[in-house]
């Protein structure tokens, strides 16, 4: 079963980034370093955030495309399996019908032969 989902890409907020990292089981404090004067981040924290947002957007878009293709292939696989199962059932029913008709014809021929023999003898 395919369930459509939506993801907001613009604007990508700090809460969404935090939720993304939690979703992939990574412990990151996205607000770290903003109040510490002894810590120097190069490039700047804003540039890091911008790059992380860009990479997350790319990941989310690529993930959505891959999931879409996976869902399409799964649906096709299920459709082909159902078609095969239906064809197998149809072949079985036709084989049974053919065998019944063949058996009826054989029985009829045997009855005619026996009747003819009885008529000739009697």
> Each residue's pLDDT tens digit in the chain (122 positions)?
667 777 777 777 777 777 777 777 766 665 555 555 665 667 877 887 788 888 888 988 898 899 889 989 999 999 999 999 999 999 999 999 999 999 999 999 999 999 999 999 87
Measured CA to CA, the distance from residue 119 to residue 29 in angstroms comes to: 103
User: What Cα–Cα distance (Å) separates residue 115 from each residue in 22, 101, 102?
Assistant: 87, 21, 20
Q: pTM score > 0.75 for this model?
A: no
Measured CA to CA, the distance from residue 104 to residue 107 in angstroms comes to: 5
The total of structural domains in the chain comes to 1
What's the domain range around 88?
Answer: 14-92
Structural domain includes residue 120: no
Structural domain includes residue 78: yes
The confidence score (pLDDT) of residue 85 equals 96
User: How many CB atoms lie under 10 A from the CB of residue 53?
Assistant: 19
Question: Cβ contacts of residue 75 below 8 Å, gap of 6+?
Answer: 2
Structural domain includes residue 21: yes
The confidence score (pLDDT) of residue 28 equals 62
Buried b (16+ CB within 10 A) or exposed e, 16-26: bbeebbeeeee
Structural domain includes residue 22: yes
Polymer length in residues for the chain: 122
The confidence score (pLDDT) of residue 115 equals 94
The confidence score (pLDDT) of residue 19 equals 74
């Amino acid at each position: 079963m395919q369930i459509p989902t939506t993801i907001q890409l613009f604007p990508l907020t700090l809460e969404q980034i935090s939720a993304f990292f939690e979703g992939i089981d990574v412990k990151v404090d996205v607000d770290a370093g903003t109040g510490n004067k002894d810590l120097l981040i190069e490039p700047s924290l804003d540039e890091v955030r911008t790059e992380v947002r860009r990479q997350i957007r790319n990941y989310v878009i690529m993930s959505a495309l891959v999931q879409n293709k996976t869902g399409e292939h799964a649906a096709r696989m299920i459709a082909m399996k159902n078609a095969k199962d239906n064809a197998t059932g149809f072949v079985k029913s036709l084989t049974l019908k053919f065998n019944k008709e063949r058996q009826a014809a054989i029985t009829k021929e045997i009855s005619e032969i026996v009747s003819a023999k009885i008529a000739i003898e009697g």
